[in-house]
């Protein structure tokens, strides 16, 4: 074999190897995209723990369980022992004074603020509060979520003085940045939960 022919063979082999490498890389990309777009993979980031408790709270307070899950995900990322710098506790981040008030409404005996670290008490108290806020705002989820984070009094004031229209499209008008971000995240997660778990 001449030197020229040998060089041509080497070039063909290199091109073949390069083509094979590119092909393997493309297959890996396609497989990766397929995995991250698959429902089971996305569900890893949208879990449904405490199912019996959430289902019971959903029935007791006429709430969509996926709304409860969305609130828990944004509030605590499912860390039942978490406490905020302001003192909110547990999965649904209930302030002790709020927990005390709602515990009287639920007829819980001997309430102690450490009960807010218990998933059952926390989810029941938080769900009651979410249901209460939905009633205060005629079933409007956006307003109820804003009140859950920013306070019922503040939301009513914003509506009364025209600061905010109370719609998702006008979230930017909410004076509190934390509340704006909170409502957006919970609402998006709520719809993602419904899509993932078959409730279109």
Q: Where are the domains of the chain?
A: 3-37, 51-196
Active site residue 80: no
Q: Which of 75, 80, 120, 152 is catalytic?
A: 75
pLDDT tens-digit map of 31-86: 444 445 578 899 999 999 999 999 999 999 999 999 999 999 999 999 999 999 99
Within 37-118, where are the H helices? 39-43, 51-61, 65-76, 96-105
pLDDT score, position 112: 94
Q: Would you put residue 43 in left (φ > 0), alpha (ψ -120 to 50) or beta?
A: alpha
pLDDT score, position 37: 54
Low-confidence ranges of the chain (pLDDT < 70): 1-37, 199-200
pTM value is 0.81
Output Rg (C-alpha) for the chain, integer angstroms: 26
Q: Which fold has domain 51-196?
A: Lysozyme (1.10.530)
pLDDT score, position 35: 47
pLDDT score, position 198: 74
pLDDT score, position 8: 58
Name the nearest CA neighbour of 155 among 71, 67, 164. 164
């Amino acid at each position: 074999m001449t030197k020229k022919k040998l060089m041509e063979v080497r070039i063909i082999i290199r091109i073949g190897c390069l083509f094979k490498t590119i092909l393997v890389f493309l297959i890996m990309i396609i497989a990766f995209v397929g995995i991250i777009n698959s429902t089971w993979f996305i569900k890893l980031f949208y879990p449904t723990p405490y199912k019996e408790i959430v289902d019971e709270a959903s029935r007791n307070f006429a709430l969509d369980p996926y709304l409860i899950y969305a609130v828990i995900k944004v509030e605590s990322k499912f860390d039942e022992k978490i406490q905020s710098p302001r003192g909110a506790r547990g999965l649904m981040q209930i302030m002790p004074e709020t927990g005390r008030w709602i515990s009287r409404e639920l007829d819980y005996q001997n309430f102690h603020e450490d009960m807010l670290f218990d998933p059952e008490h926390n989810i029941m108290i938080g769900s009651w509060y979410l249901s209460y806020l939905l009633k205060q705002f005629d079933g409007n989820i956006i307003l109820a979520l804003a009140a859950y984070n920013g306070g019922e009094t503040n939301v009513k004031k914003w509506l009364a003085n025209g600061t905010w229209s109370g719609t998702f499209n006008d979230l930017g008008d909410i004076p509190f940045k934390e509340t704006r971000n909170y409502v957006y995240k919970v609402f998006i997660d709520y719809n993602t939960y419904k899509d993932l778990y078959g409730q279109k």
